[in-house]
Structure 1
Amino acid sequence: MPDAAPSGPAVTCVVPTHDRPELLPRALRSVLAQTSPPASVIVVDDTGSARPVVDAFDGRIRYVRSWSSTAGASRNLGAALAETPLLAFLDDDDTWHPTFLARCAAELTRPDQSTVDFVAAWTWRCRAGHRRPGGSLPPLVSPDDWLHRNPGLTGSNFVVRAGAFRRLGGFDATLPVNNDLDLFVRALDLGLRYAVVPERLVVQYRTGCGDLSRGPGRASGLAGYRDKYRDRLTVSQRRFLRREQYVALRFPDQLRRRRLAYALLGWLNATPRQCVEVVRHRLNGATLYSD
């Protein structure tokens, strides 16, 4: 448990982890360093590798062994064990700014926000030590406009009322990727309301260590998400998701001709705007990657 008593509404932080014990301590230290610390911290581990890491925190963090196969399932298990009115989630390779929980909880509990169900902060994305602006969730979003692309809600940057989370049925445990986008779409479909903290208080790291930014797992997950919303997706949205699949399949340790084939298929399914973005990134010498 955190050393200091929470100064605001009680929050449970759930941290799903999957065989990345070398990254987990950084995430947990950012949770315990909150200016308004959570009432409890639950690490849900689906491989067993995180137990020594959690034990090193001397009882301040609860360890739960899971046999699930997705981050969504692990988050749901942790949330089911929570006894607080608010929930927050943090991926094992991300970090929170010390004021994240305080800022989100304050926004969520303002007198004029009594009907708000969850609050999200903006993010940074960091790769190889280079930080750039990440998701910037706008205050008003139509779910049908964002079925194909996450406008800024991730598995690490929001605080939600526990009752609202349970009304949603939690994350879709069958989706290995885009489960955060799926949760957001279903929340809007259900009529849940959200507010935004327009500050970058979360850092999402892309380390290449077990993440799902590239590879067959991401491609398969994108196909599953596309099938779930097939009847609602526009033609351009389906093309966008197909392109994301082909980008995901261009991973290292693959035959060069396959990578070239997937690159071609990606270009064929790209919108003019995406083509311009790719060229701009290349001219700036940046590395383009899919999240």
Structure 2
Amino acid sequence: MRFTVVVITRDRRQSLLAALARMRELTEDAPVIVVDNASRDGTADAVAAEHPEIALIRSPGNLGAVGRNLAVDHVRTPYIAFCDDDTWWDPDAPSRAADLLDAHPRLAVVTGRILVEPGGREDPIVPELRDSPVPGPPWLPGPALGSFLAGASMLRAEAFREAGGFSSRLWLGGEEELLSADLMALGWQLCYAEDVVVHHEPSRLREPHLRRRHGIRNTLWFTWLRRPLPVAVRRTARLLRTLPRDRVTAGALAEAAAGLG
């Protein structure tokens, strides 16, 4: 087997079960690992009952993106097809991504074309991926990327482990940007692949204020942890000019400052 599908979930039983059912349509056999981030709606029990073939990891607490690291500890295949509980791969998409990784040994990440469901329209991020200005070597099979979307990407397990996986500090939101920077610093490459299709049906069970606060905080942390001082100052100033002046932003700035102190 070439790849393992890894899913993290919390309190989204129905959307997760629908996503897992679709995985039976994959054209290539692959083990599936689900990490339940301490769901309170019976998600883990439902997975165990309806999908006994799936490896289920019950986290005692909500680890956010770091839950993926738990799953990778159990991965024995060369590649990892990450998936969220509201995303799924086209039946042949993981095989296409794995073919690209097979053919390019220094390629660490393949990010697919995301279609928003219902309706199958392109996610607004897709044109940015397709027209990425990031420079890359001529051997790349698609546009070079400076970051990726974990729920729509396949990663090389060796590269993921070498870079240390997802940062426990960031928890959730922007965790891909920090990992991408570490991968590139190690000489790995990331790219977009047009014919690797991933579907996303955004769950209504979201905490938008919490996600925005963490997103702002993590962007600032990444900027100050991985960017030269002049770049960090400019990026921070630009971010502060564009953020809404509300409680969510204030909380994010306070958390960011405390974390850097």
Letter aligned with residue 70 of structure 1: L
Q: Of 63, 73, 78, which aligns to 1:80?
A: 73
Return the offset for 1:84. 1.4
Distance 1:152 1:129 in 2: 26
Return the offset for 1:160. 1.6
1:154 equivalent in alignment to 2:146 = no
Q: RMSD between aligned alpha carbons?
A: 3.1
With structure 2 as the length reference, what TM-score do the two structures score? 0.76
1:27 equivalent in alignment to 2:23 = no
What secondary structure, in the 3-state scheme, does the structure 2 residue paired with 1:117 have? strand
Q: Of 212, 216, 222, which aligns to 1:222?
A: 216
Do the aligned partners of 1:120 and 1:157 also contact (CA within 8 Å) in 2? yes
Distance 1:234 1:162 in 2: 30
Considering only CA atoms, is the larger Rg found in Structure 1 or Structure 2? 1
Do the aligned partners of 1:17 and 1:43 also contact (CA within 8 Å) in 2? yes
1:132 equivalent in alignment to 2:138 = no
Letter aligned with residue 108 of structure 2: D
Distance 2:216 2:125 in 1: 19
1:49-103: per-residue Cα shift (whole Å, max 9, x none)?
A: 3223312434221111013433321100000111111112101111211111111
* Larger proportion of helix: 2
Do the aligned partners of 2:223 and 2:235 also contact (CA within 8 Å) in 1? no
Distance 1:244 1:220 in 2: 16
Residues 41 and 142 of structure 1: CA distance in aligned 2, closer, same or farther (over 3 Å) = same
Distance 1:165 1:248 in 2: 36
Return the offset for 1:142. 5.6
Distance 1:200 1:10 in 2: 16
Distance 2:63 2:135 in 1: 27
With structure 1 as the length reference, what TM-score do the two structures score? 0.69
1:96 equivalent in alignment to 2:89 = yes
1:126-175: per-residue Cα shift (whole Å, max 9, x none)?
A: 4x7573334333576269xxxxxx96611122212211110010011221
Do the aligned partners of 1:27 and 1:95 also contact (CA within 8 Å) in 2? yes
* Structure 1, unaligned runs of 5 or more: 1-8, 144-149, 252-291
Residues 241 and 192 of structure 1: CA distance in aligned 2, closer, same or farther (over 3 Å) = same
Q: Of 169, 179, 184, which aligns to 1:174?
A: 169
Q: What aligned pairs does 1:14-53 form with structure 2 within 5 A after superposition?
A: 14-38=6-30, 40-48=31-39, 49-53=42-46
What secondary structure, in the 3-state scheme, does the structure 2 residue paired with 1:84 have? coil
Do the aligned partners of 2:82 and 2:152 also contact (CA within 8 Å) in 1? yes
State the match for 1:122 in structure 2: 113
* Structure 2, unaligned runs of 5 or more: 137-144, 250-261
Q: Which has the higher contact order (CA 8 A, sep 6+)?
A: 2
Return the offset for 1:249. 6.2
State the match for 1:106 in structure 2: 99
Letter aligned with residue 114 of structure 1: P
Distance 1:246 1:135 in 2: 21
